[in-house]
Amino acid sequence: MANYPVNKIRNVCLMGHGGDGKTSLIESLLFTGGVTDRVGKITDGNTVCDSDSEEIKRKFSISLAVAPVEWGGCKINLLDTPGFFDFESEVSCALRVAESALIVATGKSGPGVGTEKAWARCEERGMPRMFYISKIDEENSDYYNSLHKLQKEFGVTVAPIVVPIFEGNRDTVGVVDCVIRKAYKMNGNERVEIPIPDNMLDKVNQHRAALCENVAELSEELMERYFAGEEFSDDELIAGIRQGVKDLVLAPVFCGTAATGIGSYALLKGIVDYMPSPDEKPVEISEDEKGELVEINCTPNGSTCAFVFKTVADQYGRFSYFKVMSGEVKSDMTLVNKRADANEKMGHIFTVCGKKTTEVQVVGCGDIGAVSKLVTTKTGDTLCLSVRKVELEPITFAPPCYTQSIAAKVKGAEEKISAGLARLKDEDPSFDTEFNPETKQHIISGAGDIQLDVLCAKLRDKFGVEVQLTPPIVPYREKIRKKVSVEGKHKKQSGGHGQYGHVKMDFEPYADGDYLFEEKIFGGSVPKNFHPAVDKGIREAMEHGVLAGYPMVGLKAVLTDGSYHDVDSNELSFKMAARLAYKAGIPQASPVLLEPISSMKVLVPDAYMGDVIGDLNKRRGRIMGMNPIDGGWQEILAEAPMAELSDYAITLRSMTQGRGSFVSAFERYDEAPAPVQEKVIAANKARLEALNKE
């Protein structure tokens, strides 16, 4: 594929709800553009963009894929993104390097939740966008109903460019381009121009007039010509629509059916005519080595700067996708990663179409390429020349909200899990993983159950380790509620020197911290050199409470008296005596179980407020406040026990049809209700019995 100038490149992110036909549309565009010799099908597992084994098995997109096609003297980089909400991080990666978005919605159901989210993300980024209404040939499909829903949902900026031609029992036979007022149908794989049907002439003229009115509002000169009754030429209208798309006052609508290719020619032409090129995107600002702000101009004559937006990792190494933000990237060039403070050799560089790679010598400004075997570079890093070290704004991912414990099905494979997850973290930075030393569990957190299930499958297929997911153990705590005075005596005689330690202790609640040790001894009954041993013995004993074995907190231990032996007393003896005092005294001090409480911010549309609040109440949550947000949304501030939130991400998504989101963070420990304490103590007893049997 030729090296195109920056103004002849289009980087387009395809977005929309899962199952609305993004991947199938790309198949049709690739075939229409002559990139492939057949239209792949998701059901057959032979599409260009869904090439991963998990995508083929599950029959939906999991990761971002790049598919370039040449059309009308331009190179169009199509960025296929998943529609399922567990993989929104992949959409974030694509949006970071795209100049425009194509939002796909079906003719059967119109805009879905994914359509709403796609529009909102474009609004947030100020990104030009177009719509494509898919599957207009399928049963129960209604193009005009879907168009009406789009206009109702997103406003008058939504304007049809292409409309379908129906015959007989609403069979789709072709499309009309309302801008150039030409009609086409498919004759096999060939597009043939036909006269516009008589019954469509008025509707086509109405759509064109609406476009002219929208374009006229772009400038006073155009407005004067419009009111003077002067008709815009096709070229003027195309230029006006392009400007309207760039200024976010127009969102053109296309349509078609991927299976037959109807509408694919018009869509490719529309992308070339109306979508902005990389040099039309707002200039990025970054800090250089000196802390000064510099502009990263998208020009081939600029200092080379590339942004890594995707990483594919396996047992053989990394394969990094990048977009050239300035200058050009040549093979064997050495670039600097400012974040890692390391040089990277761009040995072999490629263009990518799905999983197919083609080695090239140069990737031009604004274009997308890939490079293998980078050592330190990760997703979100910037590569640049040493003469101007900059670091572009990284990709922002939503914090993980669904957590599980991950363990190997076969003992001894724990290191494989850690190594595999570390490699997968390179590929998908949106999930978190850590080892909890308190619960002795490996924890993994992501956007939802599907994402974690896919990660487990990749661990199995790529790294050969079978794993299972279980709810994580909740890190409860224990404390006492009253003061007790006890003693502990450790005495042991086994020939030669014995062991002797004797302490008297007061244990009482301590509100200002987890632990405080004091000594109030008069007369040297316990020498000062043994006081640290008593302190250490209590600290070690506090690692396991007396109710369910959870760590003890809020404890004040006071050494009041004791006795020692000149020969047999030593540090170990007093340490053991302190532990005996702890075991004797804590059960008498009214111990209680504490549960972790999380603070929450839940963002939901107004319509779901009642259901969401009712569900939080069932989870023993407390509503702390509500903040109205523009657009008919509410932010619910709440607190809830961590133990009740293990499945909240899935439940909230179900209740709000995927619209709701939340973030949570540990807030504090509160005393657990008696029924909860009984349940936790019983569960811990059963767990310990099971471990002892093993």
- Alpha-carbon distance values, 143 to 153, 175, 257, 656 (Å): 15, 12, 11, 26
User: What is the predicted pLDDT for the residue at 636?
Assistant: 96
Place 645 in a pLDDT band, splitting at 50, 70 and 90. very high
What CATH code is carried by the domain that includes residue 411? Answer: 3.30.70.870
Last residue of a domain, one of 590, 615, 648: 590
Q: Is the pLDDT of residue 516 over 80?
A: yes
* Distance spanning both ends of the chain, measured CA to CA: 62
User: What is the predicted pLDDT for the residue at 316?
Assistant: 65
User: What is the predicted pLDDT for the residue at 643?
Assistant: 94
Identify the bridge partners of residue 133 per DSSP, sorted by sequence position.
105, 255
Phi, psi of 346 (to 5 degrees): -85, 70
Domain that holds residue 497: 478-590
- Stated as kind and residue range, the H or E segment containing 251 is strand 251-255
Place 615 in a pLDDT band, splitting at 50, 70 and 90. very high
Q: Are residues 450 and 532 in the same domain?
A: no
Q: Which of 200-214, 285-299, 410-424 has the highest mean pLDDT?
A: 200-214
Asked if 578 contacts 537 with a C-beta cutoff of 8 angstroms, the reply is: yes
Q: Which ranges constitute the DSSP H helices of 155-249? A: 201-216, 220-227, 234-246
Let me know if 690 is exposed, middle or buried by CB neighbors in 10 A (0-12, 13-18, 19+): exposed
d(CA 359, CA 364): 14
Q: Are residues 163 and 269 in the same domain?
A: yes
Q: Is the pLDDT of residue 497 over 90?
A: no
Q: Are strands 356-360 and 100-106 parallel, antiparallel or unpaired?
A: unpaired
- Joined together, the tokens standing for residue 549 give 């074995």
What CATH code is carried by the domain that includes residue 632? Answer: 3.30.70.240
Is residue 166 classed as helix, strand or coil in its secondary structure?
strand
Give CA angle at 27 (25, 31), nearest 5°: 120
Q: Are residues 605 and 496 in the same domain?
A: no
Looking at the chain, the number of H-run helices and the number of E-run strands are 16, 36
- Joined together, the tokens standing for residue 174 give 């072709």
Q: What is the pTM of this model?
A: 0.89
- Joined together, the tokens standing for residue 333 give 């060039």
Asked if 627 contacts 593 with a C-beta cutoff of 8 angstroms, the reply is: no
Q: Are residues 25 and 160 in the same domain?
A: yes
Q: Are residues 40 and 128 in the same domain?
A: yes
Q: Are strands 74-80 and 9-16 parallel, antiparallel or unpaired?
A: parallel
Place 139 in a pLDDT band, splitting at 50, 70 and 90. confident
Q: Is the pLDDT of residue 9 over 60?
A: yes
Place 97 in a pLDDT band, splitting at 50, 70 and 90. very high
Cβ neighbours, 10 Å, residue 351: 20
- Joined together, the tokens standing for residue 424 give 């997968």
Q: Are residues 462 and 329 in the same domain?
A: no
Q: Is the pLDDT of residue 495 over 70?
A: no
Mean pLDDT score of the chain, rounded to an integer? 92
Last residue of a domain, one of 524, 559, 590: 590
Q: Are residues 42 and 121 in the same domain?
A: yes
Place of tokens 């127009």: 250
Q: Are residues 482 and 629 in the same domain?
A: no
User: What is the predicted pLDDT for the residue at 197?
Assistant: 92
d(CA 325, CA 343): 18
Q: Are residues 620 and 552 in the same domain?
A: no
Q: Are residues 416 and 524 in the same domain?
A: no
In the chain, how long is the greatest CA-to-CA distance?
116
- Stated as kind and residue range, the H or E segment containing 383 is strand 382-384
pLDDT tens-digit map of 566-601:
878 888 999 999 999 999 999 999 999 999 999 999
Place of tokens 């209740």: 655
**Residue 185 maps to a domain:** no
Q: In what order do the strands lie in the sheet with 441-446?
A: 432-436, 441-446, 402-408, 467-470
**Number of structural domains, the chain?**
5
